[in-house]
Structure 1
Amino acid sequence: MHYKKVVKGEFIKRPNRFIAHVLIDGKEEVVHVKNTSRCRELLIPGAKVYLEDKREVPGRKTGYSVISVYKDDVLVNIDSQAPNTVIAEALENNKIDGLLDFSLLKREVTYGKSRFDIFMEREKERIFIEVKGVTLENSGVSAFPDAPTERGAKHVKELADAVAEGYRGVIFFLIKMQKPDLFTLNWKMDPVFAKAVCEAKSKGVEVLAYDSLVTPEEILIGKKLPIDLEPCCVG
Protein backbone atom coordinates (compact mmCIF):
# COMPACT_ATOMS: atom_id res chain seq x y z
CA MET A 1 0.00 0.00 0.00
CA HIS A 2 1.45 3.31 -1.10
CA TYR A 3 0.79 6.81 0.23
CA LYS A 4 1.02 9.95 -1.85
CA LYS A 5 2.47 13.29 -0.70
CA VAL A 6 3.91 12.28 2.67
CA VAL A 7 5.36 14.89 5.02
CA LYS A 8 7.07 14.57 8.39
CA GLY A 9 6.20 16.26 11.64
CA GLU A 10 6.56 16.23 15.41
CA PHE A 11 3.70 15.08 17.62
CA ILE A 12 2.53 17.60 20.22
CA LYS A 13 -0.74 16.36 21.74
CA ARG A 14 -3.96 14.47 21.05
CA PRO A 15 -7.01 16.18 22.57
CA ASN A 16 -9.39 13.42 21.44
CA ARG A 17 -9.53 10.19 19.43
CA PHE A 18 -9.92 11.92 16.09
CA ILE A 19 -7.45 14.79 15.99
CA ALA A 20 -3.94 15.66 17.08
CA HIS A 21 -1.69 18.70 17.13
CA VAL A 22 1.49 18.23 15.10
CA LEU A 23 4.37 20.55 14.29
CA ILE A 24 4.90 20.62 10.50
CA ASP A 25 7.58 22.87 9.02
CA GLY A 26 7.63 24.93 12.21
CA LYS A 27 3.85 25.46 12.29
CA GLU A 28 1.41 23.79 14.66
CA GLU A 29 -1.33 22.05 12.68
CA VAL A 30 -4.53 20.31 13.77
CA VAL A 31 -4.52 16.98 11.93
CA HIS A 32 -6.63 13.85 11.57
CA VAL A 33 -5.54 10.65 13.35
CA LYS A 34 -6.40 7.60 11.23
CA ASN A 35 -6.78 5.41 14.30
CA THR A 36 -9.31 5.76 17.12
CA SER A 37 -7.42 3.36 19.43
CA ARG A 38 -5.45 4.78 22.32
CA CYS A 39 -1.91 4.43 20.89
CA ARG A 40 -0.65 5.85 24.20
CA GLU A 41 2.72 4.14 23.91
CA LEU A 42 3.20 5.63 20.43
CA LEU A 43 1.71 9.12 20.31
CA ILE A 44 3.83 10.84 22.91
CA PRO A 45 5.02 14.46 22.83
CA GLY A 46 8.08 14.86 20.62
CA ALA A 47 7.54 11.66 18.65
CA LYS A 48 8.47 11.81 14.97
CA VAL A 49 5.41 11.20 12.79
CA TYR A 50 4.61 10.99 9.10
CA LEU A 51 1.44 12.41 7.63
CA GLU A 52 -0.39 12.22 4.33
CA ASP A 53 -0.95 15.66 2.82
CA LYS A 54 -4.68 15.93 2.08
CA ARG A 55 -4.95 19.70 1.64
CA GLU A 56 -6.17 19.34 -1.93
CA VAL A 57 -9.08 17.06 -0.97
CA PRO A 58 -12.31 19.10 -1.00
CA GLY A 59 -14.52 19.11 2.06
CA ARG A 60 -11.92 17.97 4.60
CA LYS A 61 -11.77 19.64 8.00
CA THR A 62 -8.04 18.96 8.36
CA GLY A 63 -5.25 19.16 5.83
CA TYR A 64 -3.21 16.19 7.04
CA SER A 65 -3.66 12.65 8.37
CA VAL A 66 -1.18 10.92 10.68
CA ILE A 67 -0.23 7.55 9.16
CA SER A 68 2.88 6.42 11.05
CA VAL A 69 5.03 7.19 14.08
CA TYR A 70 8.47 6.21 15.28
CA LYS A 71 8.72 4.15 18.46
CA ASP A 72 12.41 4.40 19.27
CA ASP A 73 13.99 3.44 15.92
CA VAL A 74 11.03 1.42 14.61
CA LEU A 75 8.44 3.00 12.32
CA VAL A 76 4.90 1.89 13.19
CA ASN A 77 1.99 2.38 10.80
CA ILE A 78 -1.14 3.48 12.70
CA ASP A 79 -3.53 3.88 9.76
CA SER A 80 -6.48 1.69 10.78
CA GLN A 81 -7.67 1.50 7.17
CA ALA A 82 -4.36 0.09 5.90
CA PRO A 83 -4.48 -3.58 7.04
CA ASN A 84 -7.39 -4.62 4.80
CA THR A 85 -5.69 -3.12 1.76
CA VAL A 86 -2.30 -4.63 2.64
CA ILE A 87 -3.78 -8.11 3.03
CA ALA A 88 -5.85 -7.81 -0.16
CA GLU A 89 -2.75 -6.74 -2.10
CA ALA A 90 -0.76 -9.61 -0.60
CA LEU A 91 -3.45 -12.09 -1.62
CA GLU A 92 -3.55 -10.67 -5.14
CA ASN A 93 0.22 -11.15 -5.38
CA ASN A 94 0.22 -14.67 -3.86
CA LYS A 95 2.27 -13.62 -0.83
CA ILE A 96 0.39 -15.66 1.79
CA ASP A 97 0.99 -19.41 1.99
CA GLY A 98 -2.20 -21.44 2.17
CA LEU A 99 -4.20 -18.66 0.53
CA LEU A 100 -2.79 -18.81 -2.99
CA ASP A 101 -4.36 -18.79 -6.43
CA PHE A 102 -7.86 -17.54 -5.66
CA SER A 103 -10.57 -17.37 -8.29
CA LEU A 104 -12.62 -14.66 -6.55
CA LEU A 105 -11.79 -11.95 -4.02
CA LYS A 106 -14.23 -9.46 -2.52
CA ARG A 107 -13.94 -6.98 0.33
CA GLU A 108 -16.51 -6.14 3.01
CA VAL A 109 -18.82 -9.12 2.54
CA THR A 110 -21.86 -9.69 4.77
CA TYR A 111 -22.49 -13.04 6.43
CA GLY A 112 -25.26 -13.35 8.99
CA LYS A 113 -25.16 -10.23 11.13
CA SER A 114 -21.46 -9.56 10.52
CA ARG A 115 -19.48 -8.05 7.71
CA PHE A 116 -16.13 -9.75 7.21
CA ASP A 117 -13.19 -7.89 5.73
CA ILE A 118 -12.37 -10.27 2.88
CA PHE A 119 -14.11 -13.14 1.09
CA MET A 120 -12.27 -15.34 -1.38
CA GLU A 121 -12.79 -18.53 -3.31
CA ARG A 122 -10.02 -20.93 -4.30
CA GLU A 123 -10.59 -24.36 -5.79
CA LYS A 124 -13.59 -25.66 -3.78
CA GLU A 125 -12.99 -23.45 -0.75
CA ARG A 126 -15.03 -20.44 0.33
CA ILE A 127 -13.01 -18.37 2.77
CA PHE A 128 -13.86 -15.50 5.11
CA ILE A 129 -10.93 -13.47 6.45
CA GLU A 130 -11.21 -11.07 9.38
CA VAL A 131 -8.25 -8.67 9.53
CA LYS A 132 -6.92 -7.04 12.70
CA GLY A 133 -4.23 -4.36 12.69
CA VAL A 134 -1.75 -4.56 15.56
CA THR A 135 0.30 -1.64 16.88
CA LEU A 136 0.97 -2.79 20.46
CA GLU A 137 4.47 -4.18 21.11
CA ASN A 138 6.63 -4.76 24.16
CA SER A 139 10.06 -6.41 24.28
CA GLY A 140 9.63 -8.06 20.90
CA VAL A 141 6.13 -9.39 21.59
CA SER A 142 3.15 -7.93 19.74
CA ALA A 143 -0.36 -8.19 21.17
CA PHE A 144 -3.97 -7.41 20.31
CA PRO A 145 -6.06 -5.53 21.28
CA ASP A 146 -4.77 -2.36 22.93
CA ALA A 147 -8.31 -1.54 24.11
CA PRO A 148 -11.46 -3.61 24.74
CA THR A 149 -13.25 -4.55 21.50
CA GLU A 150 -16.77 -5.90 21.96
CA ARG A 151 -17.42 -5.91 18.21
CA GLY A 152 -14.22 -7.87 17.61
CA ALA A 153 -15.36 -10.75 19.82
CA LYS A 154 -18.71 -10.80 18.03
CA HIS A 155 -17.03 -11.09 14.62
CA VAL A 156 -14.80 -13.91 15.84
CA LYS A 157 -17.78 -15.89 17.12
CA GLU A 158 -19.63 -15.45 13.83
CA LEU A 159 -16.51 -16.53 11.95
CA ALA A 160 -16.64 -19.77 13.93
CA ASP A 161 -20.31 -20.10 12.96
CA ALA A 162 -19.33 -19.74 9.30
CA VAL A 163 -16.77 -22.54 9.68
CA ALA A 164 -19.49 -24.75 11.14
CA GLU A 165 -21.50 -24.06 7.97
CA GLY A 166 -18.67 -25.29 5.73
CA TYR A 167 -16.71 -22.10 5.10
CA ARG A 168 -13.05 -21.69 5.88
CA GLY A 169 -12.37 -18.94 8.41
CA VAL A 170 -9.17 -17.00 9.07
CA ILE A 171 -8.36 -14.35 11.67
CA PHE A 172 -5.42 -12.42 10.25
CA PHE A 173 -3.38 -10.24 12.61
CA LEU A 174 -1.21 -7.77 10.71
CA ILE A 175 1.50 -6.37 12.97
CA LYS A 176 2.14 -2.94 11.52
CA MET A 177 5.88 -2.83 12.17
CA GLN A 178 8.88 -5.10 11.73
CA LYS A 179 10.25 -5.41 15.28
CA PRO A 180 8.25 -8.23 16.99
CA ASP A 181 9.32 -11.87 16.99
CA LEU A 182 6.05 -13.24 18.42
CA PHE A 183 2.33 -12.50 18.46
CA THR A 184 -0.05 -13.13 21.34
CA LEU A 185 -3.42 -11.97 22.63
CA ASN A 186 -3.77 -9.19 25.19
CA TRP A 187 -5.62 -11.29 27.72
CA LYS A 188 -5.43 -8.68 30.49
CA MET A 189 -6.89 -5.94 28.32
CA ASP A 190 -9.75 -7.94 26.78
CA PRO A 191 -10.30 -11.48 28.13
CA VAL A 192 -13.61 -11.74 26.25
CA PHE A 193 -11.92 -11.27 22.89
CA ALA A 194 -9.03 -13.55 23.82
CA LYS A 195 -11.39 -16.32 24.91
CA ALA A 196 -13.43 -15.89 21.72
CA VAL A 197 -10.31 -16.34 19.57
CA CYS A 198 -9.25 -19.46 21.47
CA GLU A 199 -12.72 -20.98 21.23
CA ALA A 200 -12.92 -20.14 17.53
CA LYS A 201 -9.54 -21.77 16.93
CA SER A 202 -10.73 -24.93 18.67
CA LYS A 203 -13.67 -24.97 16.23
CA GLY A 204 -11.46 -24.78 13.16
CA VAL A 205 -10.86 -21.07 12.64
CA GLU A 206 -7.26 -20.43 11.57
CA VAL A 207 -5.15 -17.73 13.20
CA LEU A 208 -2.34 -16.06 11.24
CA ALA A 209 0.08 -13.28 12.16
CA TYR A 210 2.45 -11.43 9.84
CA ASP A 211 4.65 -8.42 10.42
CA SER A 212 4.95 -5.50 7.99
CA LEU A 213 7.59 -3.64 6.04
CA VAL A 214 6.93 0.00 6.88
CA THR A 215 8.44 3.11 5.31
CA PRO A 216 7.10 6.68 5.39
CA GLU A 217 5.44 6.15 1.99
CA GLU A 218 4.49 2.48 2.13
CA ILE A 219 3.35 -0.54 4.12
CA LEU A 220 3.72 -4.06 2.74
CA ILE A 221 3.20 -7.51 4.19
CA GLY A 222 6.33 -8.99 5.75
CA LYS A 223 7.04 -12.39 7.24
CA LYS A 224 4.89 -14.87 9.13
CA LEU A 225 5.30 -14.74 12.91
CA PRO A 226 4.93 -17.51 15.49
CA ILE A 227 1.80 -17.26 17.63
CA ASP A 228 1.39 -18.07 21.32
CA LEU A 229 -2.25 -18.25 22.41
CA GLU A 230 -1.57 -20.35 25.50
CA PRO A 231 -1.98 -17.54 28.07
CA CYS A 232 -5.60 -17.04 27.01
CA CYS A 233 -6.42 -20.72 26.82
CA VAL A 234 -5.85 -21.60 30.47
CA GLY A 235 -7.93 -20.90 33.53
Structure 2
Amino acid sequence: MQYKQIQKGVFLDRPGRFIAHVEVDGVVQVCHVKNTGRCQELLLPGATVYVDKAPAGAVRKTLFDLVAVEKGNLLINMDSQAPNRAAEEFLRAGGLFGPPRLVRPETKWGNSRFDFYLETSEDKIFVEVKGVTLEQNGLALFPDAPTQRGIKHLEELIACTAEGYKACALFVIQMKGVNAFAPNEETHPAFAATLRKARDAGVSLFAYDCCVTPASMVLNAPVPILL
Protein backbone atom coordinates (compact mmCIF):
# COMPACT_ATOMS: atom_id res chain seq x y z
CA MET A 1 0.00 0.00 0.00
CA GLN A 2 1.54 3.29 -1.13
CA TYR A 3 0.87 7.00 -1.14
CA LYS A 4 1.90 9.13 -4.09
CA GLN A 5 2.73 12.63 -2.80
CA ILE A 6 4.04 12.44 0.76
CA GLN A 7 5.45 15.54 2.45
CA LYS A 8 6.92 16.03 5.92
CA GLY A 9 5.34 18.46 8.36
CA VAL A 10 5.01 19.56 11.97
CA PHE A 11 1.76 18.92 13.83
CA LEU A 12 0.31 22.04 15.48
CA ASP A 13 -3.17 21.22 16.74
CA ARG A 14 -6.41 19.33 16.06
CA PRO A 15 -9.34 21.71 16.37
CA GLY A 16 -11.83 19.08 15.20
CA ARG A 17 -12.22 15.34 14.84
CA PHE A 18 -11.32 15.33 11.16
CA ILE A 19 -9.13 18.44 10.95
CA ALA A 20 -5.55 19.21 11.95
CA HIS A 21 -3.27 22.17 11.45
CA VAL A 22 0.13 21.12 10.12
CA GLU A 23 3.06 23.27 9.10
CA VAL A 24 4.32 22.12 5.69
CA ASP A 25 7.27 23.93 4.10
CA GLY A 26 6.71 26.89 6.41
CA VAL A 27 3.00 27.23 5.60
CA VAL A 28 0.21 26.21 7.98
CA GLN A 29 -2.08 23.81 6.16
CA VAL A 30 -5.53 22.56 7.15
CA CYS A 31 -5.29 18.77 6.80
CA HIS A 32 -7.84 15.99 6.83
CA VAL A 33 -7.19 13.55 9.69
CA LYS A 34 -7.74 10.04 8.31
CA ASN A 35 -8.42 8.56 11.75
CA THR A 36 -11.48 9.08 13.92
CA GLY A 37 -9.79 7.76 17.07
CA ARG A 38 -8.47 9.95 19.85
CA CYS A 39 -4.76 9.50 18.99
CA GLN A 40 -3.96 11.66 22.00
CA GLU A 41 -0.60 10.00 22.52
CA LEU A 42 0.35 10.57 18.86
CA LEU A 43 -0.85 14.00 17.85
CA LEU A 44 1.19 16.16 20.19
CA PRO A 45 2.18 19.74 19.31
CA GLY A 46 5.55 19.69 17.57
CA ALA A 47 5.34 16.04 16.47
CA THR A 48 6.80 15.19 13.09
CA VAL A 49 4.01 14.03 10.79
CA TYR A 50 3.61 13.04 7.16
CA VAL A 51 0.85 14.27 4.90
CA ASP A 52 -0.33 13.03 1.52
CA LYS A 53 -1.09 15.73 -1.04
CA ALA A 54 -4.33 15.40 -2.95
CA PRO A 55 -4.06 14.76 -6.70
CA ALA A 56 -4.16 17.78 -8.98
CA GLY A 57 -7.72 18.69 -9.85
CA ALA A 58 -9.28 16.86 -6.92
CA VAL A 59 -12.37 18.63 -5.59
CA ARG A 60 -12.10 18.64 -1.79
CA LYS A 61 -11.94 20.98 1.20
CA THR A 62 -8.35 20.19 2.24
CA LEU A 63 -5.17 19.86 0.20
CA PHE A 64 -3.55 17.22 2.44
CA ASP A 65 -4.37 14.05 4.39
CA LEU A 66 -2.48 13.42 7.62
CA VAL A 67 -1.37 9.77 7.36
CA ALA A 68 1.65 9.08 9.62
CA VAL A 69 3.39 10.36 12.73
CA GLU A 70 6.69 9.83 14.51
CA LYS A 71 6.49 8.73 18.15
CA GLY A 72 9.99 8.46 19.57
CA ASN A 73 11.77 5.90 17.41
CA LEU A 74 8.51 4.55 15.99
CA LEU A 75 6.94 5.61 12.71
CA ILE A 76 3.21 4.98 12.99
CA ASN A 77 0.77 5.00 10.10
CA MET A 78 -2.50 6.43 11.45
CA ASP A 79 -4.60 6.30 8.29
CA SER A 80 -7.71 4.29 9.23
CA GLN A 81 -8.14 3.18 5.60
CA ALA A 82 -4.60 1.80 5.33
CA PRO A 83 -5.11 -1.48 7.26
CA ASN A 84 -7.78 -2.72 4.86
CA ARG A 85 -5.75 -1.72 1.82
CA ALA A 86 -2.63 -3.44 3.15
CA ALA A 87 -4.62 -6.47 4.34
CA GLU A 88 -6.18 -6.93 0.91
CA GLU A 89 -2.75 -7.00 -0.72
CA PHE A 90 -1.60 -9.50 1.90
CA LEU A 91 -4.61 -11.79 1.52
CA ARG A 92 -4.48 -11.76 -2.27
CA ALA A 93 -0.80 -12.76 -2.06
CA GLY A 94 -1.76 -15.82 0.00
CA GLY A 95 -1.18 -14.46 3.49
CA LEU A 96 -2.88 -16.30 6.39
CA PHE A 97 -4.68 -18.98 4.37
CA GLY A 98 -2.60 -19.64 1.27
CA PRO A 99 -3.48 -18.74 -2.32
CA PRO A 100 -7.17 -17.74 -2.51
CA ARG A 101 -9.59 -18.56 -5.30
CA LEU A 102 -11.62 -15.49 -4.36
CA VAL A 103 -11.08 -12.34 -2.32
CA ARG A 104 -14.14 -10.11 -2.06
CA PRO A 105 -14.08 -6.92 0.04
CA GLU A 106 -17.09 -5.57 1.93
CA THR A 107 -19.23 -8.70 1.85
CA LYS A 108 -22.68 -8.99 3.42
CA TRP A 109 -23.70 -12.04 5.40
CA GLY A 110 -27.12 -11.97 6.99
CA ASN A 111 -27.38 -8.60 8.71
CA SER A 112 -23.61 -8.27 8.85
CA ARG A 113 -20.98 -6.78 6.58
CA PHE A 114 -17.41 -8.04 6.86
CA ASP A 115 -14.23 -6.49 5.52
CA PHE A 116 -13.37 -9.54 3.40
CA TYR A 117 -14.77 -12.85 2.24
CA LEU A 118 -12.25 -15.42 0.99
CA GLU A 119 -12.52 -18.79 -0.65
CA THR A 120 -9.66 -21.26 -0.85
CA SER A 121 -9.67 -24.78 -2.23
CA GLU A 122 -10.87 -25.96 1.19
CA ASP A 123 -12.56 -23.15 3.10
CA LYS A 124 -14.95 -20.23 3.02
CA ILE A 125 -13.66 -17.50 5.31
CA PHE A 126 -14.86 -14.17 6.67
CA VAL A 127 -12.19 -11.70 7.80
CA GLU A 128 -12.63 -8.58 9.90
CA VAL A 129 -9.67 -6.15 10.01
CA LYS A 130 -8.83 -3.79 12.87
CA GLY A 131 -6.09 -1.17 12.62
CA VAL A 132 -3.93 -0.69 15.72
CA THR A 133 -2.09 2.59 16.40
CA LEU A 134 -1.84 2.54 20.21
CA GLU A 135 1.51 1.43 21.66
CA GLN A 136 2.59 1.37 25.30
CA ASN A 137 6.03 0.13 26.34
CA GLY A 138 6.34 -2.18 23.36
CA LEU A 139 2.79 -3.53 23.61
CA ALA A 140 0.26 -2.83 20.86
CA LEU A 141 -3.26 -2.30 22.21
CA PHE A 142 -6.76 -2.17 20.71
CA PRO A 143 -9.01 -0.27 21.03
CA ASP A 144 -7.83 3.21 22.02
CA ALA A 145 -11.43 4.13 22.91
CA PRO A 146 -14.53 2.05 23.77
CA THR A 147 -15.94 0.39 20.64
CA GLN A 148 -19.37 -1.21 20.66
CA ARG A 149 -18.95 -1.63 16.93
CA GLY A 150 -15.86 -3.76 17.55
CA ILE A 151 -17.81 -5.99 19.93
CA LYS A 152 -20.60 -6.34 17.35
CA HIS A 153 -18.09 -7.45 14.71
CA LEU A 154 -16.68 -10.14 17.02
CA GLU A 155 -20.15 -11.42 17.85
CA GLU A 156 -20.91 -11.62 14.14
CA LEU A 157 -17.72 -13.61 13.50
CA ILE A 158 -18.80 -16.03 16.22
CA ALA A 159 -22.14 -16.42 14.44
CA CYS A 160 -20.30 -17.27 11.20
CA THR A 161 -18.43 -20.13 12.83
CA ALA A 162 -21.75 -21.56 14.06
CA GLU A 163 -22.87 -21.71 10.42
CA GLY A 164 -19.79 -23.64 9.29
CA TYR A 165 -17.66 -20.80 7.96
CA LYS A 166 -14.15 -20.03 9.06
CA ALA A 167 -13.84 -16.59 10.63
CA CYS A 168 -10.91 -14.49 11.70
CA ALA A 169 -10.07 -11.15 13.25
CA LEU A 170 -6.89 -9.62 11.84
CA PHE A 171 -5.27 -6.87 13.91
CA VAL A 172 -3.01 -4.80 11.67
CA ILE A 173 -0.44 -3.07 13.86
CA GLN A 174 0.42 0.08 11.94
CA MET A 175 4.07 0.16 13.01
CA LYS A 176 7.18 -1.98 13.39
CA GLY A 177 8.88 -2.57 16.74
CA VAL A 178 6.24 -3.92 19.13
CA ASN A 179 6.74 -7.11 21.12
CA ALA A 180 3.14 -8.29 21.40
CA PHE A 181 -0.53 -7.37 20.96
CA ALA A 182 -3.26 -7.36 23.61
CA PRO A 183 -6.83 -6.12 23.93
CA ASN A 184 -7.00 -2.85 25.84
CA GLU A 185 -8.59 -4.21 28.99
CA GLU A 186 -8.36 -0.92 30.87
CA THR A 187 -10.09 1.13 28.18
CA HIS A 188 -12.76 -1.40 27.17
CA PRO A 189 -12.95 -4.57 29.30
CA ALA A 190 -16.05 -5.74 27.41
CA PHE A 191 -14.11 -5.84 24.14
CA ALA A 192 -11.33 -7.87 25.78
CA ALA A 193 -13.89 -10.32 27.18
CA THR A 194 -15.59 -10.67 23.78
CA LEU A 195 -12.24 -11.26 22.08
CA ARG A 196 -11.56 -14.15 24.45
CA LYS A 197 -15.10 -15.42 23.82
CA ALA A 198 -14.46 -15.31 20.06
CA ARG A 199 -11.22 -17.26 20.44
CA ASP A 200 -13.00 -19.91 22.49
CA ALA A 201 -15.76 -20.14 19.86
CA GLY A 202 -13.24 -20.94 17.12
CA VAL A 203 -12.62 -17.50 15.61
CA SER A 204 -8.99 -17.30 14.50
CA LEU A 205 -7.07 -14.32 15.87
CA PHE A 206 -4.07 -12.83 14.10
CA ALA A 207 -1.90 -9.80 14.84
CA TYR A 208 0.68 -8.62 12.30
CA ASP A 209 3.08 -5.74 12.52
CA CYS A 210 3.89 -3.66 9.46
CA CYS A 211 6.90 -2.26 7.67
CA VAL A 212 6.04 1.44 7.57
CA THR A 213 7.65 4.27 5.62
CA PRO A 214 6.21 7.76 5.22
CA ALA A 215 4.87 6.66 1.82
CA SER A 216 3.93 3.00 2.38
CA MET A 217 2.70 0.28 4.71
CA VAL A 218 3.05 -3.48 4.19
CA LEU A 219 2.07 -6.32 6.53
CA ASN A 220 5.25 -7.91 7.81
CA ALA A 221 5.21 -10.57 10.53
CA PRO A 222 2.94 -12.08 13.18
CA VAL A 223 3.35 -10.92 16.79
CA PRO A 224 2.21 -12.81 19.90
CA ILE A 225 -1.33 -12.15 21.15
CA LEU A 226 -1.72 -11.85 24.91
CA LEU A 227 -5.22 -12.68 26.13
Segment of structure 1 superposing worse, 191-200 or 131-140: 191-200
Give the superposition deviation at 1:35. 0.2
Segment of structure 1 superposing worse, 49-58 or 162-171: 49-58
Distance 2:135 2:7 in 1: 25
The 5 Å alignment of 1:2-41 reads 2-41=2-41
Give the corresponding residue for 1:52: 52
Give the corresponding residue for 1:171: 169
Q: Residue 55 of structure 1 contacts residue 64 of structure 1 at CA under 8 Å; is this kept in 2?
A: no
With over 3 angstroms needed to count, the CA separation of the structure-2 counterparts of 1:57 and 1:183, relative to structure 1, is farther
Q: Secondary structure at 2:15's aligned position in 1?
A: coil
Runs of 4+ in 1 over 6 A off after TM superposition: none
Q: Residue 140 of structure 1 contacts residue 181 of structure 1 at CA under 8 Å; is this kept in 2?
A: yes
Give the corresponding residue for 1:161: 159
Give the superposition deviation at 1:74. 1.1
Give the superposition deviation at 1:174. 0.5
Distance 1:77 1:113 in 2: 31
**Unaligned runs of at least 5 residues, structure 1:** 230-235
Q: CA RMSD in A?
A: 0.9
Q: Secondary structure at 1:15's aligned position in 2?
A: strand
Give aligned-pair identity as a percent.
45
Distance 1:48 1:146 in 2: 21
TM-score, length of structure 2 as denominator length: 0.98
- Of 213, 216, 231 in structure 1, the residue corresponding to residue 214 of structure 2 is 216
Distance 2:56 2:32 in 1: 15
The 5 Å alignment of 1:137-156 reads 137-156=135-154
Give the superposition deviation at 1:193. 1.4
Give the corresponding residue for 1:101: 99
Give the superposition deviation at 1:56. 2.1
Give the superposition deviation at 1:85. 1.0
Give the corresponding residue for 1:232: none
What per-residue deviation string (whole Å, max 9, x for no partner) do you get for residues 118-138 of structure 1? Answer: 100001311000000000001
Q: Residue 55 of structure 1 contacts residue 62 of structure 1 at CA under 8 Å; is this kept in 2?
A: no
Give the corresponding residue for 1:190: 188
Distance 1:112 1:158 in 2: 9
Give the superposition deviation at 1:191. 1.4
Give the count of matched residue pairs: 227
**Unaligned runs of at least 5 residues, structure 2:** none
